[in-house]
Structure 1
Amino acid sequence: MLPSQSYVNISFFQPPAFLMNGIPGLEAIHCWISIPFSAMYTAALTGNCLILLAVRRTPSLHQPMYYFLSMLAVADVGLTLSILPTTLDLLWFDHRLIGFNACLVQMFFLHSFSVMESSVLLAMSFDGFVAISNPLRYAAVLTNNVIIRIGLAIVVRATVSLFPLPFLLKRLNLCPGKIPLSHSFCFHADVMKWACADITVNIFYGLYIVMSTGGIDSLLVVLFYALILRTVMGLASPRERVWALDTCVSHILAVLVFYAPVIGVSLTHCFGKHLPLIVHVLVAYVYLVVPPVLNPVIYSVKSKPIREAMLRVLMM
């Protein structure tokens, strides 16, 4: 850090590092808190990697819905690895500093994988819509080439959307001193609030990203499920209706597990400024940790082919 007396002559300042925080008020037991966090990270990585191996090694799972499930697993692994190093380093060893550029890189990957997960959930809802509303043309619509293009579009969309974000932060003059972050990882809004400059561009670009990714995705997911429900209600046989709805349960649970914490994070940032800091921290951890942990559980419980394939991988 530069000495404080030298700040007077500095017109542009960027700190060499940020000061991260763990669980406020529970710093004395961070070592114990690291145990459930380590367990959740291990479960997330193990479960999602098992899904990837199961799909790869089981020819009968080489179908569109399982390819999309693999994309979801990749997004979950990426999201977990984005925050795992700094979180466990803080909880285990009380290492609180993260370099300025490292913070921007972490922020880019964290938000990128979050956008990818939202996009994959949208693609999975489209897959379910085609499978139920037009099953005879399912294989013709969702060919391997189409799935590859959808996957590339998801990656390009996230990368292009988030690429300007670090540079928009890098141009800001930040307030001198050791800048404390609210979490053990870097959020855009958390870094942006320490700017001693006009952040209007950053605020509007952040809102644009939220609305053009998660906002549009969630609306389209609701639209697809409205169309699915209309198709299901048009089926003559009650048994067919139950079967059709049962095929959507896993995805509906995955959507709820992802979007409910996203809404919670948005609400606490917008309207929860007077809430205790620990509320903000816990909501952020739920948003980033819980979906990667629960998604493999949801799909292994609800999908017998996935469950059996994962067991075969474990027994090898």
Structure 2
Amino acid sequence: MLKLNGTIFMPPLLTLIGIPGLESVQFWIGIPFCVMYIIGIFGNSLLLVIIKSEHSLHEPMYLFLAMLGATDIALSTSILPKMLGIFWFHLPEICFETCLLQMWLVHTFQCIESGILLAMALDRYVAICHPLRHSIIFTHQFITQIGVGVTLRAALLVAPCLILIKCRLKFYRTTVVSHSYCEHMAIVKLAAEDVRINKVYGLFVAFSVLGFDIIFITLSYIWVFITVFSLPQKEARLRAFNTCIAHICVFLEFYLLAFFSFFTHRFGFHIPSYIHILLSNLYLLVPPLFNPIVYGVKTKQIQDQVFKIFYSKDPS
């Protein structure tokens, strides 16, 4: 490792310290994180199995739910094994290139999840506001195109963050990352060079993805609510509204955690750093945990399939 004037040139290794200020209790923090991860993996895997095996669930709403479950599994898996290695086995070192790969995966899966939530909102909008056109618009081919488009949008938008760090930032003040995973701003703050372009592009990605998606999701549900409340029959209003409840809960859970994490990390200068890190960790672990639970509780078709798997009507 070459050191010049107190800076480090292209460090081969970085050190993730976990949760600064809570190092003495990280072992115990890892236990609920691990439990959340296991429950999330089980719940999302069960959803994928149910949707794949039950032909009646091969509808747009459930296909988007399967995409969401697969993304949640990938997102939580991209951070938790290394995080538990830090908390439980004192393995903080990570290769610089591996750290950049983890950063790209984490932010790419976050953008994919946001895009899927937007697609789910548009699906509910068409299903409720234009029901006769729903089956014509949301064909399996179109759903596949949406999945590919959401993935490409995320991967291509996040990739320049990786390139800007790799190509523009050569000198670093330290190799110690004050975080439990490789987050974009946590890596950028290590550099001893001008990082304004990196920060500006990070903000651009955040607002162009999350901002764009949340605006159109909100507009979709405004039109959905207008349509629902204009229905003449109370039962029809309740039935239409119930189809949206699960998605609204997941939408609020994802974006509220996202904005809390984003704003405390960039503007909460007087908030202890361990609060920033805990919020970031919860932002990545809570949605994979609660999404299958929310849809399992609020969706009767999924409940019926779960009962078929775990409950046998045969008394023998």
TM-score w.r.t. the length of structure 1 is 0.94
- What's the counterpart of residue 272 of structure 1? 268
Q: Kindly indicate whether residue 157 of structure 2 is the aligned counterpart of residue 148 of structure 1.
A: no
User: Matches of 2:79 and 2:22 in 1, distance apart?
Assistant: 19
Q: Name structure 2 gaps, 5 residues minimum.
A: none
Residue 296 of structure 1 deviates from its aligned partner by 0.5
Q: Do the aligned partners of residues 60 and 9 (structure 1) sit closer, same or farther apart at CA in structure 2, a change above 3 Å counting?
A: closer
- Identity over the aligned pairs, expressed in percent? 39
- What's the counterpart of residue 202 of structure 1? 198
- What's the counterpart of residue 65 of structure 2? 69
User: Matches of 1:270 and 1:69 in 2, distance apart?
Assistant: 31
Q: Is the 8 A contact 1:45 1:77 kept in 2?
A: yes
**Which amino acid counterpart does residue 172 of structure 2 have in structure 1?**
C
Describe the SS at the equivalent of 2:14: strand
Describe the SS at the equivalent of 2:270: coil
Residue 315 of structure 1 deviates from its aligned partner by 6.5
Q: How does 1:50-89 map to 2 (within 5 A)?
A: 50-89=46-85
Q: How does 1:237-316 map to 2 (within 5 A)?
A: 237-314=233-310
Q: How does 1:163-178 map to 2 (within 5 A)?
A: 163-171=159-167, 172-177=169-174
Q: Kindly indicate whether residue 4 of structure 2 is the aligned counterpart of residue 7 of structure 1.
A: yes
Q: Do the aligned partners of residues 139 and 42 (structure 1) sit closer, same or farther apart at CA in structure 2, a change above 3 Å counting?
A: same
Q: Is the 8 A contact 1:254 1:298 kept in 2?
A: yes
Describe the SS at the equivalent of 1:163: helix
Q: 1:120 aligns with which of 109, 116, 120?
A: 116
Residue 9 of structure 1 deviates from its aligned partner by 9.3
- What's the counterpart of residue 91 of structure 1? 87
Deviations 1:94-116 (A, max 9, x none): 11111111100000000000000
- What's the counterpart of residue 232 of structure 1? 228
User: Matches of 1:9 and 1:263 in 2, distance apart?
Assistant: 36
User: Matches of 1:23 and 1:210 in 2, distance apart?
Assistant: 23
User: Matches of 1:180 and 1:312 in 2, distance apart?
Assistant: 50
- What's the counterpart of residue 179 of structure 2? 183
Deviations 1:142-184 (A, max 9, x none): 111111111111111111111121111112023244x222221
User: Matches of 1:202 and 1:26 in 2, distance apart?
Assistant: 29
Residue 135 of structure 1 deviates from its aligned partner by 1.2
Of 236-245 and 64-73, more deviation after overlay is shown by: 236-245
Residue 244 of structure 1 deviates from its aligned partner by 1.1
TM-score w.r.t. the length of structure 2 is 0.94
Q: Is the 8 A contact 2:37 2:76 kept in 1?
A: yes
Q: Kindly indicate whether residue 161 of structure 2 is the aligned counterpart of residue 134 of structure 1.
A: no
Deviations 1:239-286 (A, max 9, x none): 211211111000000001100011101210232012111110111111
User: Matches of 2:265 and 2:29 in 1, distance apart?
Assistant: 25
Q: Is the 8 A contact 1:257 1:291 kept in 2?
A: yes
Q: Is the 8 A contact 1:133 1:228 kept in 2?
A: yes
Q: Is the 8 A contact 1:17 1:98 kept in 2?
A: yes
Q: 1:218 aligns with which of 214, 219, 227?
A: 214
Q: Do the aligned partners of residues 23 and 63 (structure 1) sit closer, same or farther apart at CA in structure 2, a change above 3 Å counting?
A: same
